[in-house]
Every structure is written in C-alpha cells, then in structure tokens.
Amino acid sequence: MTDKDRPSPEAFLRQAAQEGRGRLKVFLGAAPGVGKTWEMLTDGRHRREAGVDVVIGVVETHGRRETGALVEGHEIVARREVDHQGHSLGEMDIDAILERRPQLVLVDELAHSNAPGSRHPKRYQDVEELLDAGIDVYSTLNIQHVESLNDVVASFTRVRVRETVPDSILENAEIEVVDIPPDELIERLRDGKVYIPQEATRALTHFFSKSNLTALRELALRRAAQAVDAQMLDHVRSHALAGSFAVGERIVVAVSELPVAAELVRAGKRLADALRAPWTAVYIETRRSQSLTDEDRRQLADTLALASRLGASTATVPAASVVEGLQAFARDARATQIVIGKSARPWWFEMRHGSVVDQLVRMIDDVAVHVLPGEPEAKAAGRRAVAAPGRWGTPSDYIWSLAMVAAMTALGRLLIEVIDLGNISLLYLVPVMFAAATFGLRAGLFAGLASSLAYNFFFLPPTGTLTVNNPENVISILVLLGVAIVTSQFAARVRAQADLAQSSARQNAALASFSRLLTAAPDQDALMQAICAEVGRLLDVRTVILLPSADGPTLRAAVPPEDRLEQIERAAAQWAMDNAQPAGRGSATLTASDWLFHPLRTTRGVLGVLGLTRDDAREPVRSDQVPLLMSLLDQASIALDRMELEEASLRARQIDERDRLRSALLSSVSHDLRTPLTTILSAAQEMQRHPSPALAETIEAEARRLNRFVSNLLDMVRVEAGALPMKVEATDLFDAAASAAHDTRASLAGHDVKVDISPNIPLVRVDPVLLHHCLINLLDNAGRYADPDTPITIRARRTADAIELSVIDQGPGIAPGNEKRVFETFTRLEGSDRAKHGTGLGLAIVKGFAEAMGLTVAASNNEEPHGACFTIRIPEALIITNLTDKDVP
C-alpha cells in the first residue's frame, strides 16, 4: 500500500477516541432569539416519535408560550436545587440523568455557568460526562460564546461574554446552524418575542443592531463551515479517499530561499483573503537544501516569518524532490490551489533538471496552480554564481575514497587466481557506495572514476597501462563506470534523505522536549527561566527575557544570570517590542547591540522579547538554526500567553471570591450587629422606665457578644494580613482551658463544661493569648450546636509525637465531607445540620491562629456519645520536657 492509499493514522485515532461515546449535536445561532431551543425541541420530538428514548435535562423557555408548548409531552428530569447566598437555584441533575440513562438528553444553553457547589463549574463539562457515558446530547449555543471568537465579537459589539465554551467541544460535534435574517430577528425583538419590551428597546440600540447581527451571522456560518470541513477531512483521510473534496478552498504557497518568495507569500495572502480560505506556506527541504548559504537560510527564515505574521500556517517538509514533496503535502492538506513561482532558468538547465512548474502541472490534476514570474535571469544567474562553501567536500573525503579503491585493488590482486576477471569489477562497487553514502555524490563519482581506472590499469590486459586491447573490456569499463555513477546517485540520495530525516527528528525531539518543559512550569518566573535555559542549551547561546513595563523593558530571566543590559541593548529590545520585529546584532536594526532580540508574539500582541548573544562576537544564531529558533519562539510565546491568561483567570477568581466574602460579610454584619444592638436598645429603653438588675445583665451580655463579634472581625483581618503579634511562652493547658471556660460561661449557660486534662500533661510553647482565643471560639461554637443540657468537654491527650487538645460537644455533628470546609471563612454549610446563626468566622480564626503558632486543627465526629470534636494538635517540637529559664515568662 502506498502513502497515497494509506489511511491517516491520526484520523483513525481521533475516530477511535469517539468509540463508545455519545454524539453531540449543537444548534448554533448568531444571537438569542433565532430559534435554537425551538429547533432542538422539535428535533427531539421527532426522535421521540421515531422510538428514541428522549428526556429533557434542562430547557429554558424564558416564558415563551410557543417554546413551552414544545416541552409538553417530553419526560423532564427534575432539576437539582442548589442554595446560593440565600437563593435557590435549579441546575441540571446529572446524577439523575446518568441513573435514568436515556438514549438522548436535551440540554439547553451549553455555555451556562453552574451554581457554586455543583460537580462541574460549567454545563459543557456536564455534557462531556454524559457523552462519556454513551448518552447522546442535543444542546444550543450562540456564536459569541465560542472561546476563540470571544475577542472578535467583543471588538465590534463592545460586549465581552464571560461564559465561553472551548473550541474543542465543537470539533467533534454535529453542528446545525439555526439562522434567520437580521431584519426578521429585529422584528421579533420589537414584538417582545425575545426580551421584555424594556430590555428589547435597550438591546436594539446596543448588541442587536443590524450591523452586529450581520457580523455575528457571518461568524456563525463560517465557524460551522470550518467544523464541517475539518470533520470531512478526517473522514476522507481515515478512509484514504482520493480527491481534494473542495467544499472550501485551501491554499498552499510554495516558498524557497529566493527573495521572490516574499512576493509569493503576499500573493498567497491576497488570494486567501479574497477566498476567505485557510492557507499554508510550505518549504520543501531536499538534499539541495544542505548547500544553501547563510544568506539563503536567513532569507528563507524571513519568508516563513512573514507568512506567519500574515496569518498562514508554516511547514517544512523533507522530500526527495520539490515536486514529490509539494504533491504529497497538497494531497495530505487536501489543497485546492497552489501558488508557486517560476524561476528564470537557462534552457540547458531545464533540459538537464526539468521544470518544477511543468512537472507539478502534469502530476496534479484536481488542484489549481497559480504561477508567478520569478527573478530576472541576470539576477538569478548572479545568485547562482555564488557557490556554497564546502559543497565539494573536504580533501579527506577524496583521500578516504581513494584509499578504499586501493584496498579493493589489493583484495582483487589476492583473489585474481580464485575468481573470474568479470567478478573483480564488482568489488569496486564497494568503495563507490561507501564514498557516496558517507561523503556525498561528488566523492562517489570520484570513487567510480578511480575504480574504472584502477580496474583497467591493474586487471585488464595489457596490465600496467591504460590501453585496452579487447573491445569487450571497453564495454566492461563503461558498464563499471555507469554502474558506479548510478550507484553513487542512489547512495547519495539515500544519504541525503537520511540526513534530512535525522535533522527533522532531532528538531522534533527538541521541540517536544521544550514543550514538555514549558508545560511543567508552575508559574511565570519559572516558565521564563525554563525558556531561557532550554533555548540557550539548544542553540548554545546566552539568553534573556525582557517584559514591557512603565519604565521600559524589564529584565525578568537570564541564563546565565545577567544583572543589567547596556542602553543600546535596551533600545533594541524596546524597538523589537514596539515594532514586533527582530532588532540587534544579525538583524537590520540597531546592529551595534551585542544582543539579538526577537519579539514573543501572540494574537494579543507582543508579550515581551527574547534576547540571544554569543561570547565569541559571532552572530547569535547560525543560519541553520533559524527554523528551530522560530519554532521555539512560537512555543515560548504560546506558553507565556497561556500563563498570563491563567494568572488573569486566577485574579478574576480571587476578585469573585473577595466579592463573595464581601457579600457574606455584609450579610453577617447586618444580622449579627443588628441583633445585639436591638436587644441593648430595647433593654436600655426599658431600664429608663423600670431599672432592673436583670436588664443590666442583658445589656452587659449582649455588649460582650457584640464586642466578641467585632473582635472576631478584627482578628480575621489580622489573620489574612499575616500581622499577628506573637509572644510565645510556656503555657499550662489546664489553666488555658479553665480560663476559656470561665470567659464563656454566659454563652454556655445550660451546659456543664468538663476539663479532662491530666496534671501530667507537660507545658507547651505557644502564645497564651492566641490559644485562649482559639479555645473561646471552639467553646462558643460548641455551645451553639450542642444539644440542650448536654456537657461540653475540653480534653488533652498525649500521643507518641504530639499533644491533642480537643473540644467535644454532644450535638448533631458535622455532615460527612464537610470536615475541612467548616474552617473556611464565612462558611456556614447551607443545608447541613450545622447551618445555624453565626458569621462563619470563629472556626476560620481558630485555624488561622493555630497555624500562626505552628499548630494544626481538625474536625471530626464522635461515635459515642454522638457529636462534633475539634482538635488542636501541638507537635512534639513545641512540648516542653525540661523547663529552662527562657520558658519562664
């Protein structure tokens, strides 16, 4: 089976990955109101009528009567109620669907964000789990929610959508575009069929303008076409189907090391823009590529970099010839059009080597070939006159080839009495093949000529001369020379292909190792240091990374460590950032700099620059290293962009968390401050009329409660700020427990506090004030949740490597799985047995104070008697076995 007939292994693997999974169908629309949910429900009804087991996982009717009518008749899986900040939210119950296990489930709004506490943060992740379980899913999506189009949509709508879906979700999905003309959608808005009238009026002047809807409609149609095209290519590759399957245009631009290649790239860009088609700039690497000069390699790298900047994919493909490489690449890419330049060659050159353009046109039937004129012949001839250094090899190559010929001659003289004269000539094929495979074509031809002469001189009569008396021997010499030439040609070609394959394998291995290294970096600083180290190792250069700042380029990483750069280097780095072009030594700008700076470009702009230099005053990057450097720069840019996006996402999550905490704080303050203040005000007003000791005690108790609440707020601020004053001294745990029990006697009224601490428990090195606060909060927590009239125990036990100080109540205990969550700030475990009044600060303060002293705290449940147990663990290092003067306060 030839490569042309062989199915694509990658396509097979992608198809195999879908085996056993459910099928996803996405109803894609340009905007809300086009009828995605209507279409999904209609298709679902048709499937149900055809005998398919269909259920509704979640559907949003938004109060539309027509949509609600389509829901009737479908089995609906009840939503799971989630409590969030005092509100009950209904989310899709994925567990109930998995248990019900229908053939098809309808899930509206694929980009929806689930309520906090759900199994997955996003609904598309719920859908992925259903698909993994073998359940088919129908879902709906608007084009502005596709991750890769988020920035594009925001650029013209001025609205950035925060709920997005990865593009990978659509890659394996069947897509049905639900489309209506913009004028019809605007009419639906005005009729109140999408939003209520007030919202519809506002939407028409902002997001739902006709220009926005037209652009969104084009994006939806184009994205669907791309998905269908990719799936079609996967199918034809996995089945090795012939043909380009030109549903959409795909353009390939063949580039070379000639300056005219830049014109080809620009022409390819114009053609791709006109056809709205993806395009690729490809360089076919043949054995001729080894003889390129440094200037040629630099020109080739610039051409590929230009193509990348203009939006093309770039590829370098090793092949035996340019025509074979282009034909194979165009077939694999299912290209529909090829752009190639016709070089100005003399007639004798084309007679000898043939014309690449003519061969390509003859060999490719179903692809349009655009031929652009090349350089003028005089200029091309001038370029060809510059021979690449070393293309004839070194003198040692010819000496070794001659030595092999001599060795075969000596062997032939020894065997002349044993074998026929005709077989002696076969021995000379050995040095020819050796020289061609080891040193190249010219050395092989030299060995063939030397072998013919040696065979004639030493073996053909009359020996010792180059005269040939027998005409048959002339034929033997010519055949030997011809076989030597052909053999050296084949051997040299195999060697060149092996060199190309080996070079490509080395580069691929280096890029794979570089990618794994970048993926493992934990943060941005480590990532930049890894980039510098690996680029420096692969290219044998010194490296730095500079990022933009208000004060200009800032040095962030260097290998070996670099303290500062000169002013000219900083100017070159700034120019590279501003212009997205290389600057410094080896470039066309600010060549006085000892460093060469390359921009790290992404779709979001220039993130920084990578600087390279050598200690021996040579150019930082050799010409043969340029393609590898370009690939390394692309991967480094993507990795830095990913890290910045992750950090931005983390900052956004932190902001959300702060907002959540602020909301919880305001809720707690409004309740926990108002309650004691109301009691105090009422008691004070009553005392004005009827003075009473009981009212005075009430005021005092509520004031203490208020004071404790304010203290907790201040303590929590100190914990989060890391500003806890520490005064460690020897502390008796019995005294600490008794003091805490005394101070909480009012809040623990009705509970008998038992202190179960042996006199043999040693002293510990802790801050007695912080430990006192920990015990007060634990006792206060126990008093709120313990059953009425049940004892509360403070217990200390010595273990092999610690002392465990526990506060135990006899109440409902802690719901399973919440043992760690109870220590989170403002956590009151909605829906659990411990969801009673309180701010959710007390246990968080205990954890913060304990960790500040080097202790740990944990929560668990007692079996007998049933209740909660909170344990402060004091490690061996803080236990005093021999009291010294420094332990005495």
Q: How far apart are CA 10 and CA 15, in angstroms?
A: 9
Cβ–Cβ under 8 Å, residues 332 and 313: no
638 inside domain:
no
Instruction: Using the predicted structure, report yes or no on whether residue 229 has a pLDDT greater than 90.
Output: no
Greater pLDDT, 253 or 226 = 253
- Cα torsion through 99, 102, 104, 110, rounded to 10: -10
- Provide the pLDDT for residue 378: 41
Write down the H helix ranges in 337-428. Answer: 347-353, 356-363, 377-384, 395-415, 421-427
Spatial distance between the Cα atoms of 148 and 170, rounded to a whole number of angstroms: 11
pLDDT for position 503: 65
Tell me the pLDDT band of 130, cut-offs 50, 70 and 90: very high
Query: Hey, CA dihedral for 419, 423, 424, 429, is it positive or negative?
Result: negative
Give the domain CATH number at 71: 3.40.50.300
User: Is the CB of residue 573 less than 8 Å from the CB of residue 586?
Assistant: no
| Amino acid (one-letter) located at 708 | R
Mean pLDDT of 490-517: 68
- pLDDT over 80 at 210, yes or no: no
Spatial distance between the Cα atoms of 859 and 865, rounded to a whole number of angstroms: 16
Task: Fill in the DSSP letter of residue 625.
Answer: G
Which residue type is seen at 517?
L
Q: How distant, in Å, are the alpha carbons of 254, 300, 324 from that of 316?
A: 10, 11, 14
Residue 242 backbone class (left: φ over 0; alpha: ψ -120 to 50; beta: rest): beta
Both 197 and 281 in a single domain? Answer: no
Tell me which residue of 658, 640, 563 sits closest to 599, measured CA to CA: 640
339: closest CA among 380, 288, 300, 281?
Answer: 281
pLDDT at 675 exceeding the cut of 80: no
| 312 occurs within a structural domain | yes
pLDDT at 496: 65
- Same-domain pairing of 293 and 439: no
Give the CA distances from residue 472 to residues 182, 453, 475, 476, in Å, rounded to whole numbers and listed in that order.
Answer: 88, 16, 5, 6
Residues 295, 218 share a domain: no
Residue 91, φ and ψ in degrees, nearest 5: -120, 160
Per DSSP, what are the bridge partners of residue 807? 794, 870
On whether both 258 and 168 belong to a single domain, the answer is no
Name the packing angle between helices 768-785 and 733-743 (round to 10°): 50
Q: Are residues 42 and 158 located together in one domain of the fold?
A: yes
Last residue of a domain, one of 332, 351, 380: 380
Number of domains observed in the structure of the chain: 4
Among 95-99, 187-191, 357-361, 859-863, the range with the most confident prediction by mean pLDDT is 95-99
Angle at CA 576, nearest 5°, toward 575 and 581? 125
Residue 471 has a pLDDT of: 66
The amino acid sitting at 791 is P
Both 399 and 360 in a single domain? no
Write the secondary structure of 812-831 as one string of H (helix), E (strand) and C (coil): CCCCCCCCCHHHCCCCCCCC
Q: Is 748 helix (H, G, I), strand (E, B) or coil?
A: coil
CB atoms closer than 10 angstroms to residue 204: 15
Q: What is the pLDDT of residue 203?
A: 47
Q: Give per-residue pLDDT as tens, 186-200.
A: 777 766 666 544 444
Please tell me the distance from the alpha carbon of residue 98 to that of residue 94, in angstroms, as a whole number. Answer: 6
Residue where a domain terminates, one of 188, 212, 238: 238
* pLDDT tens-digit series, residues 412-455: 888 887 777 777 777 877 887 777 767 766 777 788 778 878 87
Can you tell me the mean pLDDT for 362-367? Answer: 75
Three-state DSSP class for residue 388: coil
Q: Residue 59 is which amino acid? A: V
Q: Name the one residue in this structure whose structure tokens are 């001025």.
A: 158
Mean pLDDT of 63-74: 80
Cα–Cα distance, 431 to 411 (Å, whole number): 12
Which residue in this structure is represented by tokens 């990795």? Answer: 639
Between 598 and 229, residue with greater pLDDT: 598
- pLDDT: is 826 or 370 the higher one? 370
Residues 492/287, Cβ–Cβ less than 8 Å: yes
Q: Is the pLDDT of residue 807 over 90?
A: yes
d(CA 770, CA 724): 9
- HSE-up of 525 (CA within 13 Å, CB side)? 2
Task: State residue 386's pLDDT score.
Answer: 41
Among the three residues 354, 380, 406, which one is the final residue of a domain in this structure? 380
Residue 485 has pLDDT above 50, yes or no: yes
- Do 307 and 227 lie in one domain? The reply is no
H helices present in 690-809, as ranges: 693-721, 733-743, 768-785
pLDDT computed for residue 680 by the predictor: 78
Q: Are residues 47 and 81 in the same domain?
A: yes
Confidence at 363, pLDDT banded by 50, 70, 90: confident
The token pair that represents 441 in the structure block: 């074509």
Do 95 and 124 lie in one domain? The reply is yes
Q: Is residue 324 part of a domain?
A: yes
- Which of the two residues, 784 and 211, has the higher pLDDT score? 784
Q: How confident is the model at residue 629 (pLDDT cuts 50, 70, 90)?
A: confident
> Is 71 part of any domain?
yes
> Are the beta carbons of 571 and 584 closer than 8 angstroms?
no
Distance CA 708, CA 540 (A): 64
280 and 151 belong to one structural domain: no
Do 137 and 280 lie in one domain? The reply is no
431 prior amide bond cis, ω within 30: no
User: Does a structural domain hold residue 766?
Assistant: yes
pLDDT in tens, 567-614: 888 888 888 888 888 888 877 778 788 888 988 887 677 888 998 888
Residue 102's pLDDT is what? 92
Indicate whether 589 belongs to any domain: no
Share above pLDDT 90 across residues of the chain, in percent, rounded to a whole number? 9
Q: What is the mean pLDDT of the chain?
A: 77
Instruction: Determine if residue 276 is left, alpha or beta; phi over 0 gives left, psi from -120 to 50 gives alpha, anything else beta.
Output: left
Which three-class secondary structure string do you get for 103-140? Answer: CEEEECCCCCECCCCCCCCEHHHHHHHHHHCCCEEEEE
DSSP code of residue 26: E
**229 and 256 fall within a common domain:** no
Task: Give Rg (Cα) of the chain.
Answer: 40
Query: Which tens digits make up the pLDDT trace of 847-888?
Result: 888 888 889 999 998 877 788 999 999 999 899 876 554 454
Indicate if the pLDDT at residue 786 is higher than 80.
yes
Report which of 771, 770, 776, 774 is spatially closest to residue 748, judged by C-alpha positions: 776
How far is 186 from 191, CA to CA, in rounded Å? 9
pLDDT band at 317 (very low <50, low <70, confident <90, very high): confident
CA–CA distance, 322 with 258 (Å, rounded to integer): 15
pLDDT reading at 377 higher than 50: no
Residues with Cβ within 8 Å of 18's Cβ and at least 6 positions away in sequence, in order, are: 172
Model pTM score: 0.44
pLDDT of residue 834: 43
97, 130 in Cβ contact below 8 A?
A: yes
pLDDT, average across residues 91-113: 90
The reported pLDDT for the residue numbered 733 is 92
DSSP 8-state secondary structure symbol assigned to residue 762 = P
Q: Highest mean pLDDT: which of 32-41, 292-301, 601-610?
A: 32-41
If pLDDT is split at 50, 70 and 90, which confidence band does 840 have?
low
Residue 320's contacts (CB-CB under 8 Å, 6 or more residues apart) are 286, 493, 497
Q: Tell me: pLDDT of 410 over 80.
A: yes
In a domain, 813, yes or no: yes
What CATH number does residue 862 fall under?
Answer: 3.30.565.10
pLDDT grade for 379, boundaries at 50, 70 and 90: very low
Residue 347 scores a pLDDT above 60:
no
pLDDT value for 506? 65
Q: Are 545 and 609 in contact (CB under 8 A)?
A: yes
**Does residue 350 have a pLDDT over 60?**
no
Range of the domain at 280: 251-380
| Lowest mean pLDDT, pick from 353-367, 444-458, 545-559, 841-855 | 353-367
What are the percentages of helix, strand and coil residues in the chain, rounded to 5? 50, 15, 30
Establish if 435 belongs to a structural domain. yes
Confidence class of residue 107 from pLDDT cuts 50, 70 and 90? very high
Helix axes 674-689, 626-672, angle to 10 degrees: 20
Say whether pLDDT at 76 is over 50. yes
Q: What is the DSSP string of 149-193?
A: GHHHHHHHHS---S--B-HHHHHTSEEEEE---HHHHHHHHHTTS
